[in-house]
Every structure is written in structure tokens, then in C-alpha cells.
Amino acid sequence: MTKPLLLIVDDEKPSREGLRAALEDRYDVYVAEDAESAQRLLEEQHFEVLITDLRMPKASGLDLIKR
């Protein structure tokens, strides 16, 4: 059985890695450090779940969700 794909977007590495560690048993986890990197991943994969920081440099998590 394949795990659902999850994308975690956060500019703070400890937050990204903490979420990855907590969720990797149930999800196939991808991480991105900013909205631009996340957008590239979203163009390549279909993620069932997106967890994003709202306050990030350049583009907010809300901007990412709107895309």
C-alpha cells in the first residue's frame, strides 16, 4: 500500500524536519524551504496534503495555497 504524498513548506529547518519526523511513518514526505521550491515540486507531483508556514520570505504560505 502506498502512502499519501505530503508536502511540508517552512523556511525554518527545525520545523520542517520536526514535522517530517512526526509524519513520515504515515506519509511519503517531501519538504521545501520556500514557496518557490514548493511550486516546482507541486508542478512535478500531486500531493494529497500540504502543510505550509504562512510567514515566509518572498511569498507567504497563503500565496502558495492560492496558486
Cell numbers found for residue 25: 511513518
What is the helix (H) or strand (E) element at residue 40, kind and residue range?
A: helix 35-44
Query: What digits encode the pLDDT tens for the residues 21-41?
Result: 999 999 999 999 999 999 999
Task: Quote the pLDDT of residue 67.
Answer: 76
Q: What is the rounded CA–CA span in Å between residue 54 and residue 62?
A: 6
Judged against a pLDDT cut of 90, whether residue 62 lies above it is answered with no
Give 4's pLDDT tier (boundaries 50, 70, 90).
very high
Query: What digits encode the pLDDT tens for the residues 36-49?
Result: 999 999 999 999 99
Q: What is the mean pLDDT of the chain?
A: 92
Task: Quote the pLDDT of residue 66.
Answer: 81
What count of other Cβ atoms lies within 10 Å of the Cβ of residue 37?
14
Query: What's the distance, CA 45 to chain centroid?
Result: 12
